Structure 1
Amino acid sequence: MKNLFDFTAPPDNEITLCEVDGRVHSMNIEFANLNIFTNVVDGYPSIHITRESLHPIRTGEDAKELFIPVDVPFTKHLVQIFYEQGYMEALNVAANNQQFILSKVAQGVLQMIDMINKVRLFWGSTDLQSTVSIMSTVSQTRNWPNGIFRCIAWHFDQTKLAVGTSDDVVRIYSKGTNLVPILRCRQQRNISMVSWRPLCDSEIAVACETCIIVWTIDPNSVVTRPSVSNAIILTENNHAPIVSIGWNQHGNILASAAANDQKILMWDVEMTRSTAIKRPGGRGNMFLKWSLRGDKMFSATNSVVFRVWETFKWQSEKWNTLSGRVQTACWSPCGQIILFATTEESVIYALSFSQTELIFTKDTNTSPNIAIPLFDVTEVDLDGIVVGGLIQSMDWDPTGNHLAVLFRDSNYVTIFTITFLPAVQINASCLVAGAPEETPCMIAFQKNFKQGACLSIGWSSGRLQYFPIVYSDTSASNVIRSIANTY
């Protein structure tokens, strides 16, 4: 199995700009100019979101500053904390109080709750974890709770992208215009994912802690702050926190997964009605991904169990990881191969389905029964830089030629090339480096890039970079794309 020693360390004190005809170009950040090498992203929106430009998040604590504090009896103060902040905060206050008996009782209760938490977490339960902790653990974005970026999504047919930020705002950027619509409302809290509706110019779904908001943005409007009247809010009891969503290829079904709900919901958005699909294997669902052709869907639970669904009759095939849960996965353009990585192993695995009709067969001799380890991404030292480790997210470009990998701890985005003949293989391509003080937070390939592939990278500084991979010989590129789509 190949490993990261096949990569070449990027030059010191330089940022990686692009790859043109197989050659990687980088420059010192002070003089960096992508147009020296290629102009394929001219006109793309320049995105650099600073913390100062984020909208302030209002909390209940802001109103308390308007009142003069007064002395109240401790029991009354404890009751107020219970109603305002919950029983856990009330127990913590009581445990730290100087009243001996009350303090000892509260400490004993807290110890008992802590032991129960450990037992339930051992069996894969997330019921007693905080929402922010769950969403941070599951998110495809690195440093989700404290970073500037939360999520990103490219439109399928237009050069337009949506960027979710930590102030619970979604900003829409488009090529050739400075108009940036801002999507924001009171129900939009703790954004986890955004997804454009296929076959539609102006609809986008935003997954939040307790609901899904499907916004309609008029492309001809000059209004930069659409009203919530232009949105459909989808909610379901006990379906929270919502951590993953995805549209099928026709855009008539929106699937959603919640960390504390065994059910995956299929939404009819216009009717605000949902249908549940449910299979045992975990106490919640952490990730889902439709194949590009819509005939299959991948879903991962918060345990070792994950499933591959056939979407015509909604039958599923159950799989187990060796350890940990599936953290991220991506489909090939043809929908016959899925790559995935777990939370415990630094390995990229592949499941290959050569014939669609054999995926869900009961004959174990013809059904695939093992995931193939393709690439060892264990942390290595390349000339003084550390690369690799556990994977945060992966994205496969629409042509099928490139795979981008974001690690939990590495400061570099890793790009691989994919070959399909005689079998699928992952090969080392290049490492993308940012400025010395930057770390990568999220990645996504553009959906409609014609000159090769274009990877967008969100850095911890709030800078969003376009990294084009350009082929001058478009005929060769089309041949490779044809092989990827028909394999």
Structure 2
Amino acid sequence: MRNLEDFSVPNDGEITLCEINGRMQCMNYEYANVSSFTTSVDKHPKIHVTRDLVHHTALGDEIKALFLPTDVPFLKQLTQVYSEQGIQEVLRTASFHHHFVISHSALLVLKVLKYVRKVQLLLNPSLEYNGPELIDELCQTRNWANNLVRCIAWHHHTSRLAVATNDDSVRIYCSDTNFVSLLRCKQQKNVVCLAWRPMSLTEIAVGHENGIIIWNVDFNSLVARPSVSNTVMLHRVEHQLLMSLVWSPNGSILVSAAGRDSNILVWDVELNKTSILKGSRESGNILLKWSPAKDKLLSVSSGIVFKIWDCQHWESDRWTVLSGRVQSACWSSCGTHLLFATNTESIIYGLTIKSDQIFTSNSDTSIDHAVPLFDLTKLDLEGIAVGGTVQSMETDPKGTHLAVFFKETNCVAIFNVVTSPLLQLIASSLIVGLAAEVPTAITFQQNFKPGACLTIAWSSGRIQHFPIIYTDLANDFNVNHSVRSINNSR
């Protein structure tokens, strides 16, 4: 099994800018400019999210401090507390009432709820955390609670990048204009994930703590902040702490997973109707990935179980890891290989799935174990700490590259993916950011012709586009682009 010693590292004071024909290209950070090596990302949106850009709403306690206290009737006081803080705070408020029956009744109900809570924790330990804490623990973004950028997503067909920030706003940057659309409303709280709808130029699903908001953005409009009237809001009371969203390849249905719901929901968006994947019940679900071959869906629970679903008959094959849970996973472009890593081991595993055989009951034809492919044990390479347990991993649309970043170290590792004759990972490039920068989220551009383009959100708020170029593909792209331009001029 290969390990991280196969990587070469940039010289001191240099950062990694791109990879051309398998060679990592670096430059001193003071003069770093990817255009010195390739012009393929010159038109990509230049993004740097700063703390001045995000606007946090004032906290309730800060607002209350601006007003003088007044005597409020008890019933009205309870109504206000209920609308702002919920039923438990109502009971706590009532427990201090001077009337004996009211105070002792409230205390009795609170004790009952306390024991109910203990039983719930035994059945589902994730309930021990509050919403933001659990999201921070389970999501694909590193240090989700504190970093400026929480998630990023490229459009499937155009060069539009959606960026969710920690003020619960989603900004959409386009390559052909400096106009930025801002998606924000009061219901959109604690944004976790983004998913552009396939076969659509304007629709994007935003997964937040309590549900899903689907925005329909008119990019021909001069209105920077679309109205809430352009949204579809999907919400189910039991489907809390939404962690992952994925559209079907044709965009007809939306599938969602929530950290506190044992069910995986399938949404008919236009009708606002849901169905439940039969047999999806686990302690909670944190990750969904649709196979590029369109025939399988991966679902990862917050426990040791992950499942692979046959999207034709919606049958599932149940798999388990030895300890912990699957932290991140992705498919090969052909959909016959699954790469994943757990939150307890510094290893990337590979699972080869032959067509239809995974769903058979014949043990002789099904593969019953994953194979360790690459050892990610933390190393010090010429003064640069690399490796450890995985935070997130993604493959490019062509399936030739795998990008991985880690929970404790500050580099992004790029691997070449070889699927024939055996599934292998080969060390390619090591992306190092500026001083004190930590990668927080990654995604590959979906329509990048010259090769692959990895977009990285750093903790400083800087968004980096890292092109992986093969000159023969780039030349073909430039020739085709020139031919189209000539034809259009005619």
What's the TM-score, normalizing by structure 1?
0.88
8 Å CA contact 1:305, 1:319 repeated in 2: yes
Asked if the contact 1:281–1:305 (Cα under 8 Å) also holds between the matched residues in 2, the reply is no
Aligned match of 1:266: 266
CA distance in 1, matches of 2:345, 2:122: 18
Worse overlay, 81-90 or 247-256: 81-90
Following superposition of structure 1 onto structure 2, how do residues 123-272 of structure 1 map, counting pairs within 5 Å?
Answer: 124-272=124-272
Moved more, 282-291 or 189-198: 282-291
Contact 1:471 1:477 in 2 (8 A): no
Query: Within 1, Cα distance between the matches of 2:322 and 2:476?
Result: 37
Distance 1:70 1:181 in 2: 42
SS class of match (2:178) = coil
Change beyond 3 A, Cα 1:120–1:429:
farther
SS in 2 for 1:179: strand
Question: Can you list the C-alpha shifts for 1:414-461, whole angstroms capped at 9, x where unaligned?
Answer: 111111221110011111011012111111111111111100000011
Q: Deviations over 1:32-57 (max 9, x none)?
A: 11111110001111000101110222
Deviations 1:352-396 (A, max 9, x none): 112x22120010110111011111111111122211111010000
Distance in 2 (CA, whole Å) between partners of 1:379 and 1:91 is 50
AA aligned opposite 2:238: N
Matched with 1:97 is none
Equivalence for 1:316: 316
| 2:18 counterpart residue number | 18
Counterparts of 1:385 and 1:117 in 2: how far apart (Å)? 46
How far 1:267 sits from its partner (Å)? 0.5
SS in 2 for 1:309: strand
Equivalent position of 2:386 in the other structure: 387
**Conservation of the 8 A alpha-carbon contact between 1:202 and 1:219:** yes
Secondary structure of 1:52's partner? coil
CA contact (8 A) 2:264 2:280 kept: no
Q: Is contact 2:261-2:285 (8 Å) kept?
A: yes
Alignment check: 8 A CA contact 1:124 1:282 kept: no
- CA shift in 2, pair 1:130/1:446, >3 Å: same
Q: Residues 229 and 417 from structure 1, CA distance in 2 versus in 1: closer, same or farther, beyond 3 angstroms?
A: same
Task: Quote the Cα distance in structure 2 between the aligned partners of 1:343 and 1:228.
Answer: 38
**C-alpha distance in 1, partners of 2:341/2:138?**
13
Residues 233 and 463 of structure 1: CA distance in aligned 2, closer, same or farther (over 3 Å) = same
Residues 442-457 of structure 1 correspond to what in structure 2 (within 5 A)? 442-457=441-456
The structure-2 alpha-carbon separation of the partners of 1:78 and 1:249, relative to structure 1 and needing over 3 Å to count, comes to closer
For 2:165 and 2:138, locate their aligned partners in 1 and report how far apart those are by CA, in whole Å.
17
SS in 2 for 1:359: helix
One-letter code aligned to 2:377 = T
The answer to which of 393-402 and 117-126 deviates more is 117-126
Displacement of 1:91 in angstroms is 11
Is it true that 1:34 corresponds to 2:41 in the alignment?
Answer: no
- Distance between the aligned counterparts of 2:136 and 2:158, measured in 1? 30
Q: Paired residue for 2:64?
A: 64
Structure 1 position 322, deviation (Å): 0.8
Q: Give the match for residue 411 of structure 1.
A: 410
CA distance in 2, matches of 1:419, 1:122: 43
Runs (5+) with no aligned partner, structure 2: 94-109, 478-490
Is the Cα contact below 8 Å between 1:124 and 1:302 reproduced in 2?
A: no
Query: Which has the higher mean CA deviation after the structures are superposed, 373-382 or 114-123?
Result: 114-123
Match in the other structure for 1:484: none
Residue identity matched to 2:423: V
Whether the aligned pair in 2 keeps the contact of 1:198 and 1:250 (CA below 8 Å) is yes
- Aligned partners of 1:262 and 1:278 also within 8 Å: no
The one-letter code matched in structure 1 to 2:243 is V
CA-atom RMSD in angstroms = 3.1
Q: Deviations over 1:198-218 (max 9, x none)?
A: 011110000011110111111
What is the CA–CA distance in structure 1 between the aligned matches of 2:476 and 2:406, rounded to whole Å?
A: 28
Contact 2:263 2:281 in 1 (8 A): no
Bigger Cα displacement from structure 2, 384-393 vs 84-93? 84-93
Aligned partner of residue 35 in structure 2, secondary structure: helix
Instruction: Determine the structure 1 residue equivalent to 2:52.
Output: 52
Runs of at least 5 residues in structure 1 that lack an aligned partner in the other structure: 94-109, 479-487
**TM-score normalised to structure 2 length:** 0.88
Aligned to 2:465, what secondary structure does the other structure show? strand
Q: Is the 8 A contact 2:449 2:474 kept in 1?
A: no
Pick closer, same or farther for the CA change 1:278–1:301 going to 2, 3 Å: farther
Q: Percent identity?
A: 47
> Which residue of structure 2 lines up, in the alignment, with residue 368 of structure 1?
367
Which moves more between the two structures, 6-15 or 358-367? 6-15
The amino acid that maps onto 1:208 is H
**Deviation larger for 58-67 or 454-463:** 58-67
- Cα drift, residue 86 of structure 1: 6.4
